Structure 1
Amino acid sequence: MSFDPVAFSVFLALLLLVTVMGFVASRWRRTGDADHLDEWALGGRTFGPLITWVLLGGDLYSAYTLIAIPAALFSMGAFGFYAIPNAVVLYSLGFLFLPKLVSLAHKNGYVTLTDFVNDRFRSTPLSLAITITGLLATMPYLALQLVGLEVVLGSLGIGGSATDNWFLRDLPLLLAFGILAAYTYSSGLRAPALIAFVKDALVYVVVIAAVIYIPIKLGGFHSIFDAASKALADKPSTPAGHDPAVAVDPGIYMTLALGSGMAFFLYPHAITGVFASRGAKTVRRNMSLLPLYTVLLGLVALLGVMALAAGVTPLDGNPQYAVPQLLSQMFPSWFTGVAFAAIAMSALVPAAIMAIAAGNLVSRNIYRQFSRRAVSTEAETLVSKIVSVLVKAGALAFVFTLDAKAAVNFQLLGGIWILQTLPTVLLGLFTKRAADRRALMTGLLTGIAYGTWAAYGVKSPGGGPFGGSTAAPFFLTSPIYIAVSSLVLNSLIVLAGSLLARLLTRTPQESRRETAPAVREPLGPPVS
């Protein structure tokens, strides 16, 4: 795409504004020592309903979401709407278990989900497995935010696919990474929390303007859906990079929505945003109000249909460019700059939270837990800050060395892996004696191994492995989301293993109590 100086100027001005906000945030609502992990990584655990709402919204609806969901509709049609029921599942599940988890976190000082697992099950191997799973699931998710940012820069004509010169192609992303790393290191979670206010406001303005203005230009929604259906009919039946069954099988639609919804609040960055809230009441209110973002997500998804109707031809055939090109085609340059800045902020906010969450896992659950000497709070916070920068550098290297399809495939694997931690979390929350830690560990590793093996067996159109996230498991003939089938296998192992462990460890006294005849209590006081 050609360089637009007006759009770039507006984009740059807004990015400079939020950069200043990112550094100023270091003193925003500070309640204690900035070198304490609670202050730097969790904002002092003082975020009320409004701040938590915009922070979780900024975390949930990232740049990749704003680009990938419409791109899915652009490529596959109505299947891309799976993200809507997915959101319904995640908020319902979050309403059930997050308030109790947050109460425990405030009471016991949990910073990560591993802290909770450690406290509940007292198992070093299980805690380490949860930590490593969280890190492996976070890295490709963070890389996808940088992919989304790269798409925006390419759409502005200053990076990505917009140029063949490797230095000019990568320089804008390097600069954005440097700024992100600097204010995250300085301000911690307060930076994305403050920036999220601007990001959310701009996203709402852009999306509402788009769903009003673009249909007027294209002749109304009836004309849009008619033109989009004709455009889809002319596409190949198997979209590039997707399984043939994805476009037709309802089982995939339902299980993908269910599995993705169950997985989200298990990600370290989602838990970081939740633990920063003031308490259980704040979280419960947010789980009731965050569905408002689902309405926004439905409108965002419609942009993919509008891009089809408008006859957008994505840059390099990459559907991720469909929405940016639609916006630049339909709106004046200054508003295009606003829209691209909103998408860029939607990458910076979750990327910062993900890096902080990864830093917390390493500093709290690896460095501190396995250190042979006492670790001060200052040293713990410093390690978390350093790791947050290294994680972003690793994600950047991932983007530079591998293509976007690889990042997507690894993120699909991350979704499969992180869902396998669900039995440990739920059983730890609602019952501790019923679950055996060895069974939990076995189920977790088996679910991850099976999910990886099943995903490896799905071939991409180019012939390589990891071509998708759906397969026909066990005795079923229809494909479903691999994460769900892996979770079923995991849960069965946990159930059977816990029952077996309970039978084998039962004491002779317990056995005699269970088999001895009941002693009838007297109905009244003894007669003298």
Structure 2
Amino acid sequence: MTVGPMAATLMAVIGGSSLLAVTARRLNPSSDLPSLGGWALADRSLGTGWTWLLLGGSIFTSYTFTAVPGLVYGNGAPAFFALPYTIIVCPLAFVLLPRMWAVARKHGHVTAADFVRRRYDSAPLALVVALTGILATMPYLALQLLGIRAVLDAAGVPSRAAVGDCVMIAIFAGLAIATYRHGLRAPAVISALKGVAVFGSAVAVCWLVLDRMNGPEGVFAAAATRLSDSTANASLVLTPGQQPAFVTLAIGSALALLMYPHVLTAAFAASDAAVLRRVSIALPLWTVVLALFGLLGIAAIAMGVDTPENGAEAAVPMLTALLMPGPLVGLVFGAITVGALVPAAVMSIAAATSFVRNVYVEYVHPTATPKRQVRIARTVSLTAKLGAVVFVFGLRDQDAINLQLLGGVWILQIFPAVAVGLYTARLRPAALLAGWSAGMLLGTALVVRGGFSAVVPLGIPGSAGVYVGLVALLLNLVISLFLTFLAEARERWPGAASPSPRP
């Protein structure tokens, strides 16, 4: 691979995304006065196509397209839980997102915590929902930089040296400026380039692999042979003991995904609920692309790609460098890099919006004008991106991965307050807070005690265990339901005080 042409096309793709971001102000422009909803949600004006690109681009991140094939490369079949997980998300999104959008539009909600605040009339519950979302989002934002780092390493740019640091800062600087000025419109416009680049790259690389290896049979046969000749524990076949972990990871991850602030921010930007229904039906097209990237993880095994130690996420970039000439490699690397910009921007906007609406306005400056809220949100959005960069530069890659694993467990604990709250207000705020606390403590303890493993053992020989997040969510739900039942029972006792009216 020739480095010069590769670098030129990589920079061209990144430069193209910056030019697109400049045009973001032309996307459904509004003459309304500045408002947080206008900046963070693009005035709730995105149609089906833009919402599909933005929501898919926010869910299927750059790190996803490098981590999933990396997991396949290192662990084999269990890594394919990501495929049923992203399929399960679609019917859940079809049911939950339009209903959440309708409530948010009716009452002017911008965040999930806004909904919780009004639904339960509880500022503390809304606060923990907002802070949990921010806490879970920050390591997820940092992971987008790890996806870029894997690309730079495969391109021969030492990502931990001064040159690599400057490249990552420059890439994020352009994103930060565009997001600061245009809010959600910037990642919405860039998502169009991401969609074309990622879909095209996946098809092109898979076509080259299948041509080189004489079809899928050749890929799987060569990978099976290499695995049998190595000391690796990876297998292309899911064993019975791995099935409980596989199923619970898929279900738990799907439930958690729709609670992330960046997913809800992208959904709230839709122009109406029907748009979200159509988008939910079309989301599996992104899963098809993820499946192609998973196949590339198997192809990396088959073709003898040798990734650095603890760097399996570099499998696809290194495979691409092996198969393609320099200019085409630059295009694929550019697609993965742009794939990081869309979710990173949406995540920083979502975190900033949650902070402004549910912390700053609620507890610091209740009379803040819409213009001031936008100004504070822009500043927090920049700070979030800067924090992600500092985090990745200052800590090991594994630290970001471990925290993101904890983030998935944590965000799942707001499911009762948000998702269940869409259908009933019977759960008491105090009960939900107690359930949230128990789920957070148990989930964190199990993950840390297990050496930052996503599964907890069942005590059955040969079983890999079940997903920690679901175990913690089960305890959360049991406590929330039980304490609500006790509160209702006490209110029915003779002489009990009358319950206060529910909103």
Normalising by structure 1, we get a TM-score of 0.90
Decide which of 161, 169, 177 is 2:164's aligned counterpart.
169
Decide which of 429, 432, 447 is 1:455's aligned counterpart.
447
1:35, distance to aligned residue in structure 2 (A): 2.6
* Amino acid aligned to 1:470: V
1:233, distance to aligned residue in structure 2 (A): 2.8
Aligned to 2:290: 297
Q: Distance in 2 between matches of 1:173 and 1:34?
A: 34
Q: 1:473 to 1:357 in 2, by over 3 A?
A: farther
Q: For 1:293-316, what per-residue CA distance to the aligned partner results, in whole angstroms no more than 9, with x for missing partners?
A: 112211111000111111111145
Q: For 1:21-44, what per-residue CA distance to the aligned partner results, in whole angstroms no more than 9, with x for missing partners?
A: 112212321123463111111011
Residue 406 (1) aligns with residue 391 (2): no
1:177, distance to aligned residue in structure 2 (A): 1.9
Aligned to 2:478: 492
Q: In percent, how many aligned pairs have the same letter?
A: 35
Contact 2:94 / 2:277 at 8 angstroms: preserved in 1?
A: yes
Aligned to 1:257: 250
Contact 1:26 / 1:188 at 8 angstroms: preserved in 2?
A: no
Structure 2 residue runs of 5 or longer lacking an equivalent are: 498-503
Q: Distance in 2 between matches of 1:474 and 1:271?
A: 37
Count of residues in correspondence between the two structures = 493
* Amino acid aligned to 1:132: L
Residue 182 (1) aligns with residue 177 (2): yes
* Amino acid aligned to 2:481: L
* Amino acid aligned to 1:485: V
Decide which of 194, 197, 200 is 1:202's aligned counterpart.
197
Q: Distance in 2 between matches of 1:454 and 1:499?
A: 28
- Higher deviation after alignment, 412-421 or 278-287: 278-287
* Amino acid aligned to 2:17: V
- Higher deviation after alignment, 338-347 or 248-257: 248-257
Structure 1 residue runs of 5 or longer lacking an equivalent are: 240-244, 460-465, 512-528
Aligned to 1:435: 427
Contact 1:473 / 1:485 at 8 angstroms: preserved in 2?
A: no
Aligned to 2:492: 506
Residue 226 (1) aligns with residue 221 (2): yes
Decide which of 426, 436, 439 is 1:444's aligned counterpart.
436
Q: Distance in 1 between matches of 2:368 and 2:494?
A: 44
Specify the SS of the correspondent of 2:367. coil
* Amino acid aligned to 2:180: Y
1:232, distance to aligned residue in structure 2 (A): 2.3
Greater RCO, CA 8 A, separation 6+: 2
1:246, distance to aligned residue in structure 2 (A): 9.9
Aligned to 2:212: 217
Contact 2:349 / 2:377 at 8 angstroms: preserved in 1?
A: yes
1:237, distance to aligned residue in structure 2 (A): 4.7
Q: Distance in 2 between matches of 1:99 and 1:109?
A: 15
Residue 470 (1) aligns with residue 455 (2): yes
Q: Distance in 2 between matches of 1:402 and 1:92?
A: 37
Specify the SS of the correspondent of 1:249. helix
1:89, distance to aligned residue in structure 2 (A): 1.5
* Amino acid aligned to 1:358: A
- Higher deviation after alignment, 476-485 or 62-71: 476-485
Q: 1:159 to 1:188 in 2, by over 3 A?
A: farther
Aligned to 2:415: 422
Q: For 1:134-153, what per-residue CA distance to the aligned partner results, in whole angstroms no more than 9, with x for missing partners?
A: 01100000000011111112
Query: Matches of residues 358-369 of structure 1 in structure 2 within 5 Å?
Result: 358-369=351-362
1:320, distance to aligned residue in structure 2 (A): 1.0
Contact 1:111 / 1:272 at 8 angstroms: preserved in 2?
A: yes
Q: Distance in 1 between matches of 2:134 and 2:253?
A: 18
Residue 392 (1) aligns with residue 378 (2): no
Q: For 1:282-339, what per-residue CA distance to the aligned partner results, in whole angstroms no more than 9, with x for missing partners?
A: 1111111111211221111100011111111114551111100111110121111110
Aligned to 2:501: none
Q: Distance in 2 between matches of 1:427 and 1:86?
A: 20
Specify the SS of the correspondent of 2:476. helix
Q: 1:393 to 1:473 in 2, by over 3 A?
A: farther
Q: What is the RMSD computed on CA atoms of the aligned residues? A: 2.1
- Higher deviation after alignment, 89-98 or 54-63: 89-98
Aligned to 2:338: 345
Specify the SS of the correspondent of 2:157. coil
Contact 1:303 / 1:323 at 8 angstroms: preserved in 2?
A: yes
Q: Distance in 2 between matches of 1:402 and 1:182?
A: 25
Q: Distance in 1 between matches of 2:432 and 2:384?
A: 28
1:175, distance to aligned residue in structure 2 (A): 1.2
Q: Distance in 2 between matches of 1:175 and 1:17?
A: 14
- Higher deviation after alignment, 313-322 or 224-233: 313-322
* Amino acid aligned to 1:84: L
Q: Distance in 2 between matches of 1:62 and 1:146?
A: 11
Q: Distance in 2 between matches of 1:489 and 1:342?
A: 41
Contact 1:416 / 1:451 at 8 angstroms: preserved in 2?
A: yes
Question: Could you say which structure has the larger radius of gyration?
Answer: 1
Q: Distance in 2 between matches of 1:105 and 1:87?
A: 25
Specify the SS of the correspondent of 2:492. coil
* Amino acid aligned to 2:359: I
Residue 14 (1) aligns with residue 13 (2): yes
1:102, distance to aligned residue in structure 2 (A): 0.4
- Higher deviation after alignment, 24-33 or 43-52: 24-33
Q: For 1:129-181, what per-residue CA distance to the aligned partner results, in whole angstroms no more than 9, with x for missing partners?
A: 101100110000000001111111222222416xxxx3223111111121121
Q: For 1:392-420, what per-residue CA distance to the aligned partner results, in whole angstroms no more than 9, with x for missing partners?
A: 11111110111111111100000000001
Q: Distance in 2 between matches of 1:103 and 1:278?
A: 10
Contact 2:10 / 2:331 at 8 angstroms: preserved in 1?
A: yes
Contact 2:455 / 2:464 at 8 angstroms: preserved in 1?
A: no
* Amino acid aligned to 1:469: A
Q: Distance in 2 between matches of 1:150 and 1:251?
A: 33
* Amino acid aligned to 1:445: S
* Amino acid aligned to 1:335: L
Normalising by structure 2, we get a TM-score of 0.94
Contact 2:2 / 2:325 at 8 angstroms: preserved in 1?
A: no
Contact 2:78 / 2:242 at 8 angstroms: preserved in 1?
A: no
Q: 1:148 to 1:34 in 2, by over 3 A?
A: farther
* Amino acid aligned to 2:75: M
